[in-house]
Amino acid sequence: MYLIVGLGNPGEEYAHTRHNAGFDAVDAIAGEVGARYWKTECGSLTAKGAYRDVDLVLAKPQSYMNTSGGPVKQLMNAYGVDAEHLIVIHDELDIDPGTVRVKFGGGHAGHNGLRSICDKLGTRDWSRVRVGIGRPPGRMPVVDWVLSLPKKEAADDFAYAVDRGAQAALSLVTAGLEKTQQAYN
């Protein structure tokens, strides 16, 4: 079993913003695996499905980005999932818009959702699917950038990266890290 967590902020005002790339990717996975029933458990919206005979729990923590670690840890405990079977999909400022990078382990690079997960799990060793959103233009504050909706061609790049992030997460489940990195990085 794999736990695939998309990071984002709950609430309509944050829907489809750059910071909610993880939520959008998990929704895409749910569509792919036919997971239609969402319920609230362990501080997250969860849905279950299977991909090529591998059971999946899909999750969107509802505690806001900065405190995502608590719900992730609760879900891992509830489902008996270890860190090697955790995949977290999140937005990444340091990657160009429209691109995806996959890695195992590493730091949080200032991403508060990742910091919270690292702190709560006591490890950094889990898979990450990083959806590129790029840096804000000019002197725009980062917070305004990540909480804004992509417009025009940026919206196309964002949608492409979100879909690619969803496919990369499913590839991790079936093909493993090395083959997924070769295909997506």
Residue ranges in the chain assigned as alpha helix (H) = 21-33, 69-79, 112-121, 142-146, 152-175, 177-184
| Residue 14 is assigned to a ligand binding site | yes
Q: Output the CA torsion sign for 78, 82, 83, 88.
A: negative
Kindly state the DSSP code that residue 62 receives in the 8-state scheme.
Answer: S
| Residue 77 is assigned to a ligand binding site | no
Task: Confirm if 145 and 91 have CB atoms less than 8 A apart.
Answer: no
Task: Confirm if 24 and 90 have CB atoms less than 8 A apart.
Answer: no
Query: Is-catalytic flag, 90?
Result: no
Q: List the catalytic residue out of 16, 19, 85, 111.
A: 19
| Residue 79 is assigned to a ligand binding site | no
Binding residues for tRNA, as ranges, are: 14, 64, 66, 112
Catalytic residues: 19
